[in-house]
Amino acid sequence: MSEKTILVWFRNDLRIHDNEILLEATKRADKIVPVFCFDPRYFEETPYGTRRTGAIRGKFLIESVAALRKSLEQLGGGLIVRTGLPEEVLPEICSVYDVREVYHHREVASRETDISALVEEALWKKQINLKHFIGHTLYHKEDLPFPIKNIPNDFMTFRKKVERDSVVKPCFDTPSAITVPSGMEAGELPTLAELEIEGNQLESPSEIYVGGEQEGIIRMNAFLYEATNVKNKSGVQSSSRLSPWLSLGCLSAREVYWAVKKHRGPEGASDISKIIAELQWRDYFRFMLKKHGSAMLGEIGQDAGLSLEEKKKFDKWRSGHTGVILVDACMLELNASGYISDKCRQYVASFLVKDMSVSWRAGAAVFEEKSIDYSPASSWGNWAYIVGAGIMSTNRPINIKPEDISSELAIKNRLALLQGAKCA
């Protein structure tokens, strides 16, 4: 009887904990072939002079893939890394290792689903099955109290219904061992230069974010410990800042949820319970994108480009030179570290659209390039709220004030630097 080999295609699920495709593959196959592709389409230049992945975000991704490889090696396995189009790379690897089935987690944004369709078509020509799993959300869609087409467009209604009528499943087990084909050629991780990303975009950040599953778990545990045990809260960050690891799937939403439940205790009095609401927002935006597609943004989805005057204002905004000190502080922090809080993001996004009258798409391109926690569903959902169009037009408008974000520690540091520069 011949051995069965399954290829596990990693995308935005760069972890070994709570990973259904990895666990199922180890159960159903004699050997597995774990693969990650650095797809050139995610590093292209946009019409706004940005790249789909910038230096800081690219560095975070490379670190996360390297950490996944190390975790798989510790289980006796490994990770094949290739740079190229998955619809070309994956069938070639399948041929080398006699793979008859490929596992991957289903995505919802158009670019990701288009790539999945291309891969599925290429594999089908070789009579290889692409099996889809759902593993990016806190609530599994089969456990929702309504079908996707009937999900409420209002977040608070969505939240109340899922809290009352749905459940969060336990995390999947982590495989105890992984067997890969002998002599599997792992390949080298690409450098930023090989991905055509300019490394000189890297500055000296006020806070360094390191990619990878173990780093994400360390950050999660440290935040939960501080939030529940430190008596003087003045030095504790006001947000968990776990979104970078959640966006690449270095942390699973369920792992964070159950860790919060454990630290919060049975009475649920701790402030860390707001992390659960943040996870629910992530689910909500993802399900909205699944339900509505690009119509989620309504007519604002049309790209008319930038006029010369708009481009001048846009360049000032993206570089942190608008003259509005808090906006500039936020943008300099984003450029330096790859991260700003949701409140800061909403503030600068609103300023770009409502005060500078520049297309939201230009701002979205900057966030895609710079933000290490970028994900299409959350990004598009937040822009729809800010612009007040599409399915979000009936929701309460966002009204962020400077005092709402001036307490952010990283922003205060950057603000002090700016004020010093202006006084000099």
Distance of CA 392 to the CA centre of its chain: 21
Question: How sure is the predictor about 421, in pLDDT bands with cuts at 50, 70 and 90?
Answer: very low
- Can you give the pLDDT at residue 233? 56
Distance of CA 106 to the CA centre of its chain: 14
- Can you give the pLDDT at residue 411? 58
What tens digit of pLDDT does each residue of 358-413 get? 999 999 999 999 999 999 999 988 888 887 766 665 555 556 666 666 555 455 56
Please report, for residues 135, 159, 290, 318, the alpha-carbon distance to residue 293 in angstroms, rounded to integers and kept in the order given: 19, 21, 6, 28
Question: How sure is the predictor about 1, in pLDDT bands with cuts at 50, 70 and 90?
Answer: very low
- Can you give the pLDDT at residue 223? 87
3-state secondary structure at position 344: helix
Closest residue by Cα to residue 9 from 163, 197, 110, 135: 135
Q: For residue 258, count other CB atoms closer than 10 A to its CB.
A: 16
Category of 301 on φ-ψ map: left (φ > 0), alpha (ψ -120 to 50) or beta: alpha
What tens digit of pLDDT does each residue of 244-288 get? 999 999 999 999 999 998 886 545 445 677 889 999 999 999 999
Residues 411, 333: contact at Cβ < 8 Å?
yes
- Can you give the pLDDT at residue 424? 33
Closest residue by Cα to residue 71 from 249, 227, 300, 226: 249
Domains of the chain and CATH, by start:
5-173+210-281 (3.40.50.620), 293-423 (1.10.579.10)
| Averaged pLDDT, 129-145 | 94
Q: For residue 111, count other CB atoms closer than 10 A to its CB.
A: 13
Average pLDDT for the chain: 87
Q: Which amino acid type is present at position 47?
A: P
| Averaged pLDDT, 105-112 | 93
In the DSSP assignment, the letter for residue 153 is S
What value, to the nearest 5°, has the Cα angle with vertex 42 and ends 45 and 287? 120
- Can you give the pLDDT at residue 269? 45
Identify the bridge partners of residue 34 per DSSP, sorted by sequence position.
8
Closest residue by Cα to residue 274 from 324, 213, 341: 341
Residues 270, 227: contact at Cβ < 8 Å?
yes
3-state secondary structure at position 92: helix
Q: Which of 220-224, 236-240, 316-320, 373-377 has the lowest mean pLDDT?
A: 236-240
- Can you give the pLDDT at residue 170? 96
Question: How sure is the predictor about 186, in pLDDT bands with cuts at 50, 70 and 90?
Answer: very high
Q: Which residues lie below 8 Å from residue 293, measured CB to CB, with a gap of 6+? A: 110
Please give the Cα distance from 371 to 137 (Å, whole number): 20
What tens digit of pLDDT does each residue of 316-335 get? 999 999 999 889 999 999 99
Please give the Cα distance from 418 to 321 (Å, whole number): 10
Structure tokens at 90: 């994956």
- Can you give the pLDDT at residue 418? 54
- Can you give the pLDDT at residue 407? 54
Residue with tokens 């596990």: 8
Question: How sure is the predictor about 173, in pLDDT bands with cuts at 50, 70 and 90?
Answer: very high
Burial of 304 (0-12, 13-18, 19+ CB in 10 A): exposed
3-state secondary structure at position 270: coil
- Can you give the pLDDT at residue 240? 81
What tens digit of pLDDT does each residue of 71-81 get? 999 999 999 99
Residues 330, 348: contact at Cβ < 8 Å?
yes
pLDDT at 234 over 60: no
pLDDT at 290 over 80: yes
Burial of 193 (0-12, 13-18, 19+ CB in 10 A): exposed
Please give the Cα distance from 272 to 240 (Å, whole number): 8
Burial of 362 (0-12, 13-18, 19+ CB in 10 A): buried
Q: Which amino acid type is present at position 345?
A: R
Residues 159, 277: contact at Cβ < 8 Å?
yes
Helices (runs of H) and strands (runs of E) counted in the chain: 16, 5
- Can you give the pLDDT at residue 412? 58
Residues 196, 58: contact at Cβ < 8 Å?
no
Residues 43, 52: contact at Cβ < 8 Å?
yes
Closest residue by Cα to residue 175 from 16, 30, 32: 16
Q: Which of 20-24, 153-157, 175-179 has the lowest mean pLDDT?
A: 153-157
- Tally of residues, the chain: 424
